[in-house]
Amino acid sequence: MGHKAGFVSIIGKPNAGKSTLMNNLVGEKMSIITPKAQTTRHRILGIVNSDDYQVVFSDTPGIIKPHYALHESMMHQVEGSIVDADLILLMTDINEKYDEGEVLEKLQGSLAPLVVLVNKIDQSDEETVKQKVAYWQEKLNPKAVFAISALHMHDTKGFLDYIVESMPEHPAYYEKDALTDRNDRFFASEMIRAQIFKQYKKEIPYSTEVIVTAFKEGETLHRISAEIIVERDSQKNILIGKNGDMLKIVGKYARLDMEEFFQRKVFLEMFVKVIPDWRSKKNYLKQFGYE
């Protein structure tokens, strides 16, 4: 039996539970879960390794109708990840009223084998679960339908075994110990972003981007610098707050999250920078890694 390796794309609507599933399967706090939909803008890769296999999970951004150049770029990523998948996991919420039309449209061009996950069964009853499973069986004729609770997933092993079975024989795509610096920077920026979502109302979170500009690793201390990009001076003022109070709060909690995550002290400095309408400017989107 040779080494297996492949790509698994998790698709589904915002808040279907994709990040929760990823975290359980990968066993690392891979993507930051925030209560607001639409916070996962990148294809976050979680990699599950063993001596015999490597499964690379990509968590596509929640599927939405594009509003900005930014969203269009996110949607291209969704389509890209559907094209290169060895297996697609379609994640649905048991409470959804079958309105996954936009998600299903994305699947039409796909030749990859499909598995449907009916999530949040802990919030439901056996009869409803049976109905849902039958509905998806008939509607999409997938390879399999699993009824799960990503949050209380006890049998991740059986599920992971099934996924590994579906992977082609292939050498590993990434180093086996790849939790790389790019990931560390990414997680640092996600932790700041998570705090911005938590501490501010309305449009602020959606108008900001967080760029980690320096990441100096030390045995006992990481020194991390970040820029928070906004579109207008008024947003900058709100972010910083009176006497810098708001930014201090974001910095404090983001730093505590990082210290827990990296298991060492963190010195964090943050700057707020205005770039008018960065969301509509292709060159900025490119620079921020969206293209």
Give 109 or 227, the one with higher predicted confidence.
227
- Judge whether 113 is annotated as a binding position: no
* Closest to 186 measured CA to CA, from 10, 31, 22: 31
- Judge whether 286 is annotated as a binding position: no
- Judge whether 13 is annotated as a binding position: yes
- Judge whether 283 is annotated as a binding position: no
Residues 259-285: tens digit of each pLDDT: 988 888 999 999 998 888 766 665 555
* Closest to 232 measured CA to CA, from 273, 197, 274: 274
- Judge whether 181 is annotated as a binding position: no
Q: How many helices (H) and strands (E) does the chain have?
A: 9, 9
Q: What fold, for 181-287?
A: GMP Synthetase; Chain A, domain 3 (3.30.300)
The reply to whether the predicted model has a pTM over 0.85 is no
CATH superfamily assigned to domain 4-165: P-loop containing nucleotide triphosphate hydrolases (3.40.50.300)
CA 87 – CA 83 distance, rounded (Å): 10
- Judge whether 121 is annotated as a binding position: yes
- Judge whether 130 is annotated as a binding position: no
Beta strand 87-93 pairing with 114-119: parallel
Residues 149-177: tens digit of each pLDDT: 777 766 667 788 899 999 999 888 766 65
* Closest to 250 measured CA to CA, from 276, 228, 278: 228
Q: Where are the domains of the chain?
A: 4-165, 181-287
Beta strand 4-12 pairing with 87-93: parallel
87 to each of 11, 81, 167, 226, how far by Cα in Å? 11, 10, 8, 36
Angle between helices 181-199 and 245-262 (to 10 degrees): 140
